[in-house]
Amino acid sequence: MIKPHGGKLVNRFVEGKEREALEEKIPGMPRMRMNERELADFEMIAAGAMSPLEGFMTQDDYKSVLDLMRLDQGLPWTIPVVFSCKGDAADFKEGQDIALEDPAGTVLGVLHLEDKFPIDKIEEAEKVLLTSDEAHPGVQYLASIGDTYLGGRISAVNRPKHTTFLNYRLDPKETRVLFKAKGWNSVVAFQTRNPIHRAHEYLQKCALEIVDGLLIHPLMGATKSDDISGEIRMQCYEVLLANYYPKTRTAISVFPAAMRYAGPREAIFHALVRKNYGCSHLIVGRDHAGVGDYYGTYDAHYIFREFDPAEIAITPLFFDHAFFCTRCGNMASTKTCPHGSEDHVFLSGTKVRQMLTEGKLPPVEFTRPEVAEILMESTRAK
């Protein structure tokens, strides 16, 4: 099975006497509350999903990621994983321990503060998101946080409390056990924050022709307010897997990350993290992790050329724009179909939402009828 990024799967959950000793000290520590993105990052760091990270980035790693798309020691990494200071940064000193709370005020662990540093939000936005446009959701997030980052290793004493998708929450060590139990030596991951339509299904089944198994790995962390809810999306995934996919060659697990909408940089990030989960391949489609018109259609493909394939290790499977061609009579892509766009059935998310609002089911060439019915019902319920 593929090795984790950096060679070792990190585990920052403390147990036994170490946990007891830390819990005794927590009442005397200053407390700081994590926002939704930081909470997701905390859980992923602790479980090893962000290996080799053992905590939130210090300035050396942060600056190296911004400028070189690598951690300070040279390992490829493209997205800052950082913790914003709440309150007056002058109140916190390097070497101090800070108790980290979830939004409800429950302490989940400790940040062992190694570094605090001011940030230039415009610089981060332009280097990571490739824009400082205030309409970009990633720029809006940066505007919502403080001007200082706190870096250091974490120690997790409790898991975040989840009330949804409990049967689908698998840590990297658990997906690796699952793949081994299924006898899968090669596994392709599919990243999504949307319902799966026929074009997605086509890409997944093309990939299944060359690997042992498919992991549907939907992102269930923070997304844009107008994205379809995780609960509705999960219903869509379940009905598709039950009716249209081979049960022995597919699995589904929640990807707890928050969406950055960072386009090409996030495509690399998604690949590296899926390697930690034990996946050998990742489907990289059109405008992966994009939003609006901020990134070129295939920029998420081109960025992989900037790294040695051996240091990325997970294999990206690049797919062109897929659609149903009425003249071919089947699913196809720009690589395989000779016909013009007038013969292609492709609907934008905006168009689909408009159809649902008007009480019209999207055509079967675009989405499976069972999925269309779930989306229609959720629209009626609003």
Active site residue: 12, 176, 193, 368, which one?
193
State the Cα–Cα distance between residues 25 and 285, nearest whole angstrom.
Answer: 48
Question: Catalytic: 194?
Answer: yes
Q: H or E element: which one contains 207? A: helix 198-208
Question: Catalytic: 167?
Answer: no
Q: Which two tokens stand for residue 195?
A: 């319902």
State the Cα–Cα distance between residues 11 and 167, nearest whole angstrom.
Answer: 21
Active site residue: 153, 158, 169, 194, which one?
194
> Which residues does 33 contact at the CB level (< 8 Å), separation at least 6?
86, 100, 101, 102, 103, 105
Is the bond preceding residue 103 a cis peptide, omega within 30 degrees? no
User: Residue 98: helix, strand or coil by DSSP?
Assistant: strand
* CB-based contact 347:231 (threshold 8 Å): no
Residue pointed to by tokens 């407390």:
31
Name which of 304, 307, 243, 312 is nearest 279 in CA terms: 312
Give the count of alpha carbons within 13 A of 162, CB side only.
17
State the Cα–Cα distance between residues 362 and 195, nearest whole angstrom.
Answer: 13
> Which residues does 122 contact at the CB level (< 8 Å), separation at least 6?
132
- Active-site positions? 193-194
